[in-house]
Amino acid sequence: MDRTGAQIIWECLLREGVETVFGYPGGAILPTYDAMTEYPIRHVLVRHEQSAVHMADGFARASGRTGVVVATSGPGATNLVTGLATAMLDSIPLVAITGQVGSGLLGTDAFQEVDITGITLPITKHNYLVTRAQDIAPAIREAFAVASSGRPGPVLVDITKDAQQGRATLDWEGAAPTRHLRHIPPSPSQVDLDRALAMINAAQRPVILAGHGIQLSGARAEVLALAELAQIPFAETLLGLGAVPASHVLSLGMMGMHGESWVNQAIQEADLLIALGMRFDDRVTGRLKEYAPNALKIHVDIDASEINKLVPVDVPLGGDLKQVLQAMLPSVKAADHTPWLERIRSWRGDSAVRDIKNLPDDGHLYAAHVMHDLWKITKGEAVVVTDVGQHQMWEAQYYHHDGERSLITSGGAGTMGFALPAAIGAKLARPEAEVWVVAGDGGFQMTFAELMTAVQEGVKVNIAIINNGYLGMVRQWQALFYEGRYAATPILSPDFVKLAGAFGIHGERVEKRSDLEAAVARARQQPGTALIEFKVEQEDSVYPMVAAGAALHDMIRRPSPSPIAETGADPV
């Protein structure tokens, strides 16, 4: 049957299993929007195209399915850039479809013509410029295959207006993709597997570095089997939180710049690091020269270009994590590392860290209180979507994630403005989940127009704004490294309660810890999106901290004496 290119687009999306797309119309994509009404696909109209990508991203992170974005040419397409880069750095499968000027006008600087395939070349896994209706189906099918196979990532398909208007027969079978199969990583050699096994079976002080790849590969059970069998403690990257359960006895907690001191200490003193689906980002290694100097290193990653990129490893295991672990598990020997685990436990006990959540309610509200109480009230079962900054780190430290895909956060790019739109996408992917936004006063103001999207789409998310009156994380750096010169970090906010009112949603303000629980309960009970502004201590900082470029064990602790006492004990 002959179809228009626009119909082929929707037909392909439907056949790819797409139920929801996030987008914004415009001239060059109008034929596609015009055909949309014929297809049972939900379109979520955003308020800014960047948010459309974050929504599709949140949708993908919450569900594991590929998120889909639709936008027009020119400014519509360029507004996608930050979202695509965010997804690229965190390996999130997305397909973005953009309209483009007619093929006859390409290269003429026509109205709303922008070379979006050129612009997005380094921030997509692959992209396409399609100029004929018959080329649409092969491009879209391949885009989905590329986005979700191997190490996932975003793919952009730019389709000219005449290709959308032209006619072609949809040859679904003929459009079956193959090129994404060209570089499926080989399984590691038996020799390397054996070397890794020998190291694992001989290690005295092993640590597993648990990364996002565990989630992407669906390898949670295998990782836990390895850890339990050989009694290997595991430390998580930011994106690894929730990939393995925080409450597991072998879980150490988050590593890196704002990781727990005992976790970083364990990494520095380990004799074997088993890196699983993580990429030794500078935020987790500290100064490379002094990183885990005594450890042999095994690195499993589906992206071979990540292995030996920053940290030279002893055994490279390129391949899908789940498969690699399945191949190794039968030969892993049961082990007992009690002395090592005890040692780490003693560091944990000794570290008079930053435990402010046991403080008496002295009238001050600290972000850590909010995170801790939110964790308790939601029983750790919410999907939390954070923005970027101090609140993001406090969330990571105090909300203990057991469930898979329960923390959604922009790690690699650190994109402010991510939380609200990503949370809307997450809620649409998992309507049964309780979704919380945790955002700073700064980041929330970047994309809060999406509140109206939530209202228009009838999406319920709960929002915790951590209002400290500053671009807090930057202020913290200014306090620590720029002698307290707060250049451009004090930030005013609107009256968030009135703002909520303007959007027609529930809103309230909490300034005392004693008011928190009731406010959270009211927000949860609201049928629609609800917002709570938490007025927190303005100049609090996130501790401990590894300064950029310092060695991992060289952590800045909460200054003492300090207005904030530290208890050291892990509270319940």
Partner 1 sequence: MSHVLVIYTDDEPGVLTRVAMLFRRRGFNIHSLTVGPTERVHVSRMTVVVDTDEATARRAVEHLRKLVNVLEVQQLGHGRNVVRDLALLRVSTRQGRSEVLQLVQVFRANVVDIADDSVVIECTGSLGKIEALVDSLRPFGILELGRTGAVAMARGLRSEDSNRLAAVATVAPGSSGAMSV
Q: Which is nearest to 528 in space by CA: 474, 469, 468, 452?
A: 452
170 vs 6: CA distance, rounded Å: 11
Asked if 489 is part of the footprint of Mg ion (rule: CB under 5 A), the reply reads no
Asked if 411 is part of the footprint of ligand TPP (rule: CB under 6 A), the reply reads no
Binds ligand TPP (CB under 6 A): choice among 137, 197, 384, 388 = 388
11, 22, 161, 460: the catalytic one is 161
* Packing angle, helices 190-202 and 321-328, rounded to 10: 70
Q: Which is nearest to 276 in space by CA: 344, 327, 220?
A: 220
Does residue 390 have an active-site annotation?
no
Plot region of 277 (φ>0 → left; ψ -120 to 50 → alpha; else → beta) = left
Asked if 289 is part of the footprint of partner 1 (rule: CB under 8 A), the reply reads no
- Number of residues that this document lists for the chain: 572
Binds ligand TPP (CB under 6 A): choice among 27, 64, 177, 414 = 414
Binds ligand TPP (CB under 6 A): choice among 277, 440, 507, 544 = 440
- Per CB under 6 A, the segment of 178-186, 189-197, 415-423, 517-525 that binds ligand TPP is 415-423
3-state secondary structure of 45: strand
- Per CB under 6 A, the segment of 46-54, 358-366, 382-390, 398-406 that binds ligand TPP is 382-390
Asked if 183 is part of the footprint of partner 1 (rule: CB under 8 A), the reply reads yes
Asked if 121 is part of the footprint of partner 1 (rule: CB under 8 A), the reply reads yes
The contacts of residue 53 (CB under 8 Å, 6+ apart) are 22, 69, 80, 82, 83, 84, 86, 87, 94, 96, 154
7, 11, 36, 49: the catalytic one is 49
Binds ligand TPP (CB under 6 A): choice among 389, 411, 412, 507 = 389
The contacts of residue 339 (CB under 8 Å, 6+ apart) are none
Asked if 443 is part of the footprint of Mg ion (rule: CB under 5 A), the reply reads no
165 vs 133: CA distance, rounded Å: 8
Asked if 472 is part of the footprint of Mg ion (rule: CB under 5 A), the reply reads yes
533 vs 304: CA distance, rounded Å: 44
426 vs 437: CA distance, rounded Å: 10
Asked if 343 is part of the footprint of partner 1 (rule: CB under 8 A), the reply reads no
Asked if 233 is part of the footprint of ligand TPP (rule: CB under 6 A), the reply reads no
**To the nearest whole angstrom, how small is the minimum distance from the Cβ of residue 86 to partner 1?**
17
Asked if 446 is part of the footprint of partner 1 (rule: CB under 8 A), the reply reads no
3-state secondary structure of 97: strand
The residue (of 33 and 534) whose beta carbon lies closer to Mg ion is 534
Site string for Mg ion, 396-435 (x = CB under 5 A): ----------------------------------------
Strand-pairing partners, residue 42, are: 20
Q: How many Cα atoms within 13 Å fall on the side-chain side of residue 138?
A: 14
**To the nearest whole angstrom, how small is the minimum distance from the Cβ of residue 416 to ligand TPP?**
4
The residue (of 473 and 564) whose beta carbon lies closer to ligand TPP is 473
For residue 504, the one-letter residue type is G
Site string for partner 1, 155-174 (x = CB under 8 A): ---x---------------x
The contacts of residue 218 (CB under 8 Å, 6+ apart) are 64, 322
Q: Where are the beta strands (DSSP E) in 58-213?
A: 67-71, 94-100, 126-130, 154-160, 167-169, 206-210
**To the nearest whole angstrom, how small is the minimum distance from the Cβ of residue 235 to ligand TPP?**
23
328, 473, 545, 555: the catalytic one is 473
The listed partner (ligand TPP, Mg ion, partner 1, none) that binds 516, CB under 5 to 8 Å by sort, is none
For ligand TPP, the binding residues (CB under 6 A) are 387-391, 414-417, 440-443, 466, 468, 470-474
Residues near Mg ion, by CB under 5 A:
440-442, 468, 472
The residues assigned a catalytic role are 49, 111-112, 161, 473
